[in-house]
Structure 1
Amino acid sequence: MSRALRILLAAILLLGGVLSLSAAENAPLARGTAIIDPDLLKKLDQSDALSISRLLEPERNATVPLTSDQLFASLPQLKEILPAIDTEFDRYIAQHKQSVPSETIGVGDGFDVQLFDRFSLKSASTRFVLAGIVNRMDRAYVSEESCGEIRLIYRLARFGPGPDGGSTATRLPMTFNLVMKARDARQADASGKAITCAEVARRWLDNGDWQGLIGSRTGPYDAMVDRIETNIQISIAPKSALHDFRSDYLLKVFKYDAATKTFVESTLENQIDRDRILADDALRRDFKAWLLEPANLREFDRGTVLIPEKYLAKAAVALTPAGLDASTLQPEFGLVEGEGNSDPVFTDNDVVGALKQAAARGIAMENIRSVAGFQRRLNDVTCSGCHQTRGIGGFHFPGVDWLTEGASNATIVPASPHFFGDQLRRRDILTAFASGKRPDFSRGFASRPQTRGSAELAGTEYQDGWGAHCSLQNEGSGTADKSFTSWTCAKGLTCQAAAASSRIGMCFIKTR
């Protein structure tokens, strides 16, 4: 295989993993941790049992899901969402016009940068369809009482008349995630016994009555509602003389305020506000001191850190494709020494010193063993940095397409390589919950799954098979960076540079 062809294939993977295993092959990986069966999702959607409006207003007198215009007009809980999205669009457009005045930007093929049509959010011909349900009890470290989260993921779709008198459906590039608590402390089973985290986990693992645990059946009906997350492909820019193909994704979060019964604009978890930190000397000093404190550095290494809101942003744009190495496209770029900033927040000596201090206190690092590991974690701990890593564009769960005629799990891939690669870890956590053990909530880097001793992913693109991310040997020493020594390739494959990266490559067939 020529180097040019390898790079082309690598680019395909980076742009969306279209060479992924089929969904039928992926389905076993999601057993007990996600609902991706198209027939079941279609049934649940058309019955209105788990629609957005039904979960937010259980007593609503209707039997069908609401169209987009009805949804945002009739549910006062959602009143702040569209104005907040409009504000981000206006900011994005203004920034683009300022940075690239020679390019046109607007809705439609006639523009250099083609925007998502916001009118579809106020249209009578669109609605959000249920595209997947994901168990995130692996996030119980955020709130142990709620046992983690259950995410109901909806995909925006447009419906219209078909050529044969029927109807057609087109999926639009937006997901709407209604995040529910996995458990309410007031929940009880049929015998009156309190529902425990172990019971929730067992129902999911055994494919029991997990649906009966979603939402509150008695007042207050909003007791299990936590937040809404939106992901919109805000623009695409076809390849031109100025740039390669680009696709940007706007990420927003709206936390539920039970007092006002409204979803309010919130910071994104761990979405470091790079520009604000770099511009504020006091804030950057505080952030550095906080993150390098040994206890916080340990949680940062484990992937369970919760960065205080004062350092975070209320919106993020994931720029794709971002490539394998640090670049201006990534959210942390410029915070660490060696990234083009003469005055970074973290110097190499800062990081090395913090790692030594942690070791002196008996804290063993699982992932971050070098400056390169620190930089990679600083990027993939953010929402946008994670969505840039092994995603389908800027999505990790674009959802099951049960709308397509003849769609089945044999042909539709509902989620990214990163998503499927993480299912072993998530299922291990559910298994620990089910058996009454304390789960290990740690996670590896977004580029490589944490296998927890299982060989289920061995030889696949998710771990060490063709197209997997791997560690290149450092020039001079001939060894891999300490943070990525386990990033090897399966037998018959070798780690090869897929782009300009000097540290991270991809597993391809040996050519010599």
Structure 2
Amino acid sequence: MLGCMRLAHADEAAPLERGAAIIEPTALRELDHGALGLNRMLAPSRPADAALTDADLYALPAMVPLRKALDAEFERYVERHKATLPDESIGVGSSFAFQLFDRSVLDSQDARFVLSGIVNRMDRAYVDPAHCGEVRLIYRLARTTLPEAGDEAVPARLPMTLNLVLKARSDAQAASNTPSCAEIARRWLDTSDLALTGRELAARLTEKDGALATIAPENIVRIETNLQIAHAPKSAIRDFRTDYMMKVFDYHAERGTFDEAVLEDQIDRDRLLADASLAREFKDWLLQPDHLGELDRGTALIPDKFLAKVAIAPTPTGFVDSPLQPAFGLVQGDDDGRAPVFSEDDVVGALRKAAESGVAMENIQSVAGFERRLNDIGCGGCHQTRGIGGFHFPGVDWMAAKPSNTIVVPGSPHFFGDQVRRRDILAAFRDGREPDFSRGFASRPQTRGTTELAGTEYSDGWGGHCYVRHDNAADNDKSFSAWTCASGLACQAGPKTRMGMCFISTH
């Protein structure tokens, strides 16, 4: 497929996303202009050829609460910034130290969200087994007016994505079990063998037995937004910084609106650190052996009462004035001297109790492993790990005059590194096996018994995340000691950490 990420060492004809994502640009263009355009999904009563500009989108009654919540979050961000960094200005335009996303584009007739990728997430069927998990239509905000004339002219892609999350099959299909989860998985995996592009591929995908045949507006579950809320160029007082804001809006069919909701597993650390009673309740819940086991596998579903309605992910990491990774301050305390929610003894004791209860741990073998897992299960911490800026799927830019010369890598290393696991789950559904929904850390994906990722940047190849091991095995952290590098590479880390990256060995 055009625009796909291919393996660095082995089968050059095998894109990692095969059978689990659709990123062929000319097919996406056809689908965007047809049944899967945002206008057809959110406003099916509109004429099929009527593009849904931003001005039209946010005027839809369903979207009014969403826009209101976005505006309120912007105002809170500005006020927080002014309080924590009072010497730096913030506003729209290059004259400000912190340059805000220009919200006027959300009211523009010259910008709209275009379909930039379709991702199968049946690996999330543990959340919603009746509907076989999810399928996600990912739209990227773009100006529709060309900035310049000529063959190379490209509409300006803007730093905002809208993820339309859908049930993999509708309520009626779930009730009749037609198609089955096995059949849906088979349809997706069969796309691996399609040597089609453009209109032909779009038509095949949407046929009665195609991978996208079950997708319709009635399947909508929620909207997830991610935007670059502010950018600060490098200056005399700090390095460059870019903040990304993520929010979630659940669809309520009875009201016909998208309403602000908590982000799944995005721990509200500030509220926990400020409320001792709530913190104790959270600790007691999470450290139960069954919940700790789910946390280890990456399948924990933390109750809403402990979660936040926004995630701010700065890049590079390390700015303590923003709500960073959720575990910051929860395990080791924070810079304000507030007591952590979890002591080392709490974690060690919980791991011992889980072992005694027969709960096997694959990822969390230490306090550091517990802390890292708390970081990467939520949206903010995950998007700070192996992302492209603050995005995991910037998507394909088919609006360019020559799509083949534009976005070569539509997804992040985290996205591509997870494809082996996702396809393994699809194969389990297809073959009638019990799917293994567990996942590794965001930094180091599971290989699921294959060698497909070996020697690539996603695992132990050049640029892979690794752990500097000591000769004395007792000094190594059991959560990360298996994070080694391929032959000819060595793990190189900074002076204050043993977490590093694989580079060519100098020895």
Q: Tell me the distance in 1 between the aligned counterparts of 2:36 and 2:288.
A: 43
Alignment partner of 1:66 out of 52, 62, 68:
52
Alignment partner of 1:179 out of 165, 173, 196:
165
Check 1:130–1:356 CA distance in 2 against 1; reply closer, same or farther (3 A cut). same
1:247 correspondence with 2:239: no
The alpha carbon displacement at 1:323 in A equals: 6.6
Which residue of 2 is the match for residue 311 of structure 1? 306
Q: How does 1:110-125 map to 2 (within 5 A)?
A: 110-125=95-110
1:83 correspondence with 2:68: yes
Q: Tell me the distance in 1 between the aligned counterparts of 2:410 and 2:272.
A: 36
Check 1:385–1:419 CA distance in 2 against 1; reply closer, same or farther (3 A cut). same
Amino acid at match of 1:398: P
Q: Secondary structure at the match of 1:284?
A: helix
163-172 or 453-462, which moves further after superposition? 163-172
Q: Tell me the distance in 1 between the aligned counterparts of 2:121 and 2:239.
A: 36
The alpha carbon displacement at 1:53 in A equals: 2.2
Q: Could you report, residue by residue, the CA deviation over 1:170-195 in whole angstroms, capped at 9, with x for unpaired residues?
A: 10000001000001242399xx9821
Which residue of 2 is the match for residue 236 of structure 1? 231
Which residue of 2 is the match for residue 13 of structure 1? none
Which residue of 1 is the match for residue 202 of structure 2? none
Q: Tell me the distance in 2 between the aligned counterparts of 1:175 and 1:27.
A: 27
Q: Any conservation in 1 of the 2:39–2:50 contact (CA below 8 Å)?
A: no
The alpha carbon displacement at 1:407 in A equals: 2.2
Q: Any conservation in 2 of the 1:38–1:409 contact (CA below 8 Å)?
A: no
The alpha carbon displacement at 1:266 in A equals: 0.1
1:264 correspondence with 2:250: no
Q: Tell me the distance in 2 between the aligned counterparts of 1:232 and 1:411.
A: 19
Q: Secondary structure at the match of 2:403?
A: coil
| Structure 2: 5+ residue stretches without partners | 192-204
Q: Tell me the distance in 2 between the aligned counterparts of 1:238 and 1:410.
A: 25
Q: Tell me the distance in 1 between the aligned counterparts of 2:42 and 2:323.
A: 40
The alpha carbon displacement at 1:161 in A equals: 4.6
Q: Tell me the distance in 2 between the aligned counterparts of 1:138 and 1:342.
A: 38
Amino acid at match of 2:45: E
Q: Tell me the distance in 1 between the aligned counterparts of 2:181 and 2:374.
A: 31
Q: Any conservation in 1 of the 2:111–2:143 contact (CA below 8 Å)?
A: yes
Amino acid at match of 1:157: A
Which residue of 1 is the match for residue 393 of structure 2? 397
Q: How does 1:270-281 map to 2 (within 5 A)?
A: 270-281=265-276
Q: Secondary structure at the match of 1:79?
A: helix
1:37 correspondence with 2:24: yes
Check 1:55–1:372 CA distance in 2 against 1; reply closer, same or farther (3 A cut). same
Q: Tell me the distance in 2 between the aligned counterparts of 1:345 and 1:188.
A: 41
Check 1:344–1:475 CA distance in 2 against 1; reply closer, same or farther (3 A cut). farther
Which residue of 2 is the match for residue 206 of structure 1? 190
Q: How does 1:9-408 map to 2 (within 5 A)?
A: 28-45=15-32, 47-73=33-59, 75-161=60-146, 163-164=148-149, 168-187=154-173, 194-207=178-191, 209-215=210-216, 222=218, 224-322=219-317, 329-337=324-332, 341=337, 343-408=339-404
Q: Tell me the distance in 1 between the aligned counterparts of 2:319 and 2:26.
A: 37
Q: Tell me the distance in 1 between the aligned counterparts of 2:397 and 2:13.
A: 15
Check 1:26–1:306 CA distance in 2 against 1; reply closer, same or farther (3 A cut). farther
Amino acid at match of 1:200: I
77-86 or 316-325, which moves further after superposition? 316-325
Q: Any conservation in 2 of the 1:474–1:503 contact (CA below 8 Å)?
A: no
Aligned residues: 482
Check 1:164–1:53 CA distance in 2 against 1; reply closer, same or farther (3 A cut). closer
Q: How does 1:418-429 map to 2 (within 5 A)?
A: 418-429=414-425
The alpha carbon displacement at 1:254 in A equals: 0.1
Q: Tell me the distance in 2 between the aligned counterparts of 1:449 and 1:507.
A: 15
Amino acid at match of 2:395: G
TM-score, length-scaled by structure 1: 0.89
Q: Any conservation in 1 of the 2:231–2:241 contact (CA below 8 Å)?
A: yes
Q: Tell me the distance in 1 between the aligned counterparts of 2:372 and 2:168.
A: 30
Q: CA RMSD in A?
A: 2.6
Check 1:118–1:324 CA distance in 2 against 1; reply closer, same or farther (3 A cut). closer
Q: Tell me the distance in 2 between the aligned counterparts of 1:100 and 1:475.
A: 44
Which residue of 2 is the match for residue 493 of structure 1? 489
Q: Tell me the distance in 2 between the aligned counterparts of 1:328 and 1:306.
A: 21
Q: Any conservation in 2 of the 1:228–1:263 contact (CA below 8 Å)?
A: yes
Q: Could you report, residue by residue, the CA deviation over 1:41-99 in whole angstroms, capped at 9, with x for unpaired residues?
A: 11211x232012211233332314211101221x2111111111111110111111111
Amino acid at match of 1:433: F
Check 1:410–1:92 CA distance in 2 against 1; reply closer, same or farther (3 A cut). closer
Which residue of 2 is the match for residue 471 of structure 1? 467
TM-score, length-scaled by structure 2: 0.90
Q: Tell me the distance in 2 between the aligned counterparts of 1:373 and 1:152.
A: 33
309-318 or 206-215, which moves further after superposition? 206-215
Check 1:408–1:299 CA distance in 2 against 1; reply closer, same or farther (3 A cut). same
Q: Tell me the distance in 1 between the aligned counterparts of 2:186 and 2:319.
A: 38
Q: Any conservation in 2 of the 1:80–1:265 contact (CA below 8 Å)?
A: yes
Q: Tell me the distance in 1 between the aligned counterparts of 2:242 and 2:31.
A: 32
Q: Tell me the distance in 2 between the aligned counterparts of 1:202 and 1:328.
A: 41
Which residue of 1 is the match for residue 198 of structure 2? none
Which residue of 1 is the match for residue 408 of structure 2? 412
Check 1:104–1:26 CA distance in 2 against 1; reply closer, same or farther (3 A cut). farther
Provide the identity percentage.
Answer: 59
Which residue of 1 is the match for residue 197 of structure 2? none
Q: Secondary structure at the match of 1:375?
A: helix
Q: Tell me the distance in 2 between the aligned counterparts of 1:496 and 1:119.
A: 45
Check 1:470–1:364 CA distance in 2 against 1; reply closer, same or farther (3 A cut). same
Q: Any conservation in 1 of the 2:330–2:341 contact (CA below 8 Å)?
A: yes
Check 1:426–1:193 CA distance in 2 against 1; reply closer, same or farther (3 A cut). closer
| Structure 1: 5+ residue stretches without partners | 1-17, 216-220
Q: Tell me the distance in 1 between the aligned counterparts of 2:303 and 2:405.
A: 40
Which residue of 2 is the match for residue 5 of structure 1? none
The alpha carbon displacement at 1:363 in A equals: 0.9
Q: Could you report, residue by residue, the CA deviation over 1:358-415 in whole angstroms, capped at 9, with x for unpaired residues?
A: 0001111010000010000010011100000000001000111112232228852101
Q: Tell me the distance in 2 between the aligned counterparts of 1:324 and 1:110.
A: 22
Amino acid at match of 2:443: S
The alpha carbon displacement at 1:484 in A equals: 0.9
Q: Tell me the distance in 2 between the aligned counterparts of 1:477 and 1:239.
A: 42
Check 1:323–1:449 CA distance in 2 against 1; reply closer, same or farther (3 A cut). farther
Moved over 4 A (4+): 24-27, 165-168, 338-342, 474-479
The alpha carbon displacement at 1:319 in A equals: 1.1
